[in-house]
A and B are shown apart, each in its own frame.
Chain A
């Protein structure tokens, strides 16, 4: 790991860790409101922002954030109007963002490869001033996403209830939209604008395979995000000795691999939970089984499900309960 003794790799590591922490924190709220693709859409809008920055020779980070935040606010206002076809409206905005970005880059005489740095990330060319901006923005995202978690949770969970509870629903909705825009900007240099959404959504999808509460999902998603982004950076640095391995896509692939590993476990846990949830306590009529050779018990290998004051053992479509020296069909 002597690669990390280089200053540029240390900067890259800090940027990756911060992105991995901030993106899933916002992503959790987006997934909660079933807006998983919002990050992707904002990434497209940010392309126009980057192109504007390049065209006017100002810092692409700031123009990207400005344009993305604007796009996020417009998106949120369209959504707030309660349009059933809101997703179509969003699509219009997103394609406009991408097309505008490519068009402006061309008109301004910038090369497409300059734009590509932002589309797919260029974490190893990050400068010290970039790092400071990323740190500040990530701190803002984390403070709001964690500090206002009870309010943001309530607004995302049940808008009507939150409104009657006196919460300023619109302010919180716009806040989440702007947070999403800021974290898109944070992740821009790490995984790039076209893959931003992956870092916001995939760790959340992975976390919720194993969690049952919102807070656990939020915490686990952030931990998974950091593991994936720093791990992806390390793997791509190691692999770069043998071939061209870009960090951005590596981070996303590692995050997806995490999901692929967790999903079967989550599916098994859910199956198990369904199977062992107690049966309703109904008095059954007495139906003894005939010719039952097997002895049921805690270690017999059959699923034991609570049923009133006893347990039923499940096998071959039967529910068998111990009754004296025989078993009853329940």
Chain B
């Protein structure tokens, strides 16, 4: 049974079609890398798969259940882009990771022993057990990213979505990240991650999907980093995208708005 099944998925942002005709089947245990240039739609695809972006057309099943009727949120662990780690009030690493446990907690109940054990285990897997009491804002970028992975891990999900986990993360931290994901893979988790470059994650990846301008242009065995941007990937006849052309393609929504209008691009 496929864990994710998207048929003819399309996403429109501010009325403009961004993702078009995307079909994606992900089986249990797959480790899949979504790759592509900036503005190619990889993040939008992950946001569509998690329900953060509604599908304009198409059909999405998660764990064999149509998305509208899907409520097993504890089976999903989402690691957003790191920018969201800091906020106006200090929060400790433990508190941030503990919030990942909410998928399994009932309202107005204190943390159970199982909850605490899962939080401690999640911190250990990413190697941040000794930083639990530190403020999340005091960690380096790579450590913050690991804390966000621990947060997803605390809910003990089966399916992970990671949005650019390696962006702006130094090599030792990328390695620590890869080690943590290796543990998950060994446990049979399904992982969908967005990446510009795989780096130390490369040995874990079993399958690559390359996006270009909102379409899936490649789906198959992993590619080397430089191949992803090669003009011939997924095109019947090769033509070279100039810089100007690429910049034009990435502006899906024009940046025009007045005070009361909704932000056309993204809601973050």
- Residues A213 and B73 in contact in the complex (CB < 8 Å), given A85-B257, A150-B102, A161-B151: no
- Taking CB atoms, residues of chain A closer than 8 Å to B222 are none
Query: How many Å lie between the Cα of A214 and that of B84 in the bound state?
Result: 16
Interface segment, one of A26-34, A239-247, A287-295: A26-34
Interface segment, one of B3-11, B89-97, B121-129, B205-213: B89-97
- Taking CB atoms, residues of chain B closer than 8 Å to A153 are 91, 95, 99
- Taking CB atoms, residues of chain B closer than 8 Å to A215 are 95
Interface segment, one of A61-69, A76-84, A102-110, A125-133: A76-84
CB–CB A83/B87 < 8 A: no
CB–CB B89/A212 < 8 A: no
Q: Indicate if B76 sits at the interface (CB-CB under 8 A).
A: yes
CB–CB A165/B87 < 8 A: no
Interface SS, B side: loop
- Residues A212 and B92 in contact in the complex (CB < 8 Å), given A83-B257, A164-B50: yes
Q: Indicate if A148 sits at the interface (CB-CB under 8 A).
A: yes
Query: How many Å lie between the Cα of A160 and that of B49 in the bound state?
Result: 13
Q: Indicate if A299 sits at the interface (CB-CB under 8 A).
A: no
Q: Indicate if B138 sits at the interface (CB-CB under 8 A).
A: yes
CB–CB A150/B88 < 8 A: no
Q: Indicate if B105 sits at the interface (CB-CB under 8 A).
A: yes
Query: How many Å lie between the Cα of A212 and that of B138 in the bound state?
Result: 9
Interface size of B by Cβ–Cβ distance < 8 Å?
Answer: 47
Q: Indicate if A154 sits at the interface (CB-CB under 8 A).
A: yes
Q: Mark A138-173, 1 if CB is under 8 A from B, else 0.
A: 000000000110110110111111111111000000
- Taking CB atoms, residues of chain A closer than 8 Å to B74 are 166
CB–CB A161/B78 < 8 A: yes
8 A Cβ contacts from B43-91 to A = 47, 50-52, 71, 73-74, 76, 78, 80, 84-85, 87-91
- Residues A160 and B52 in contact in the complex (CB < 8 Å), given A31-B88, A150-B98, A212-B135: yes
CB–CB A31/B89 < 8 A: yes
- Taking CB atoms, residues of chain B closer than 8 Å to A81 are 260-263
Residue in chain B with minimal CB distance to A32: B89
The list of the 3 closest CB pairs from A to B, nearest first, reads A166-B73, A213-B92, A164-B78
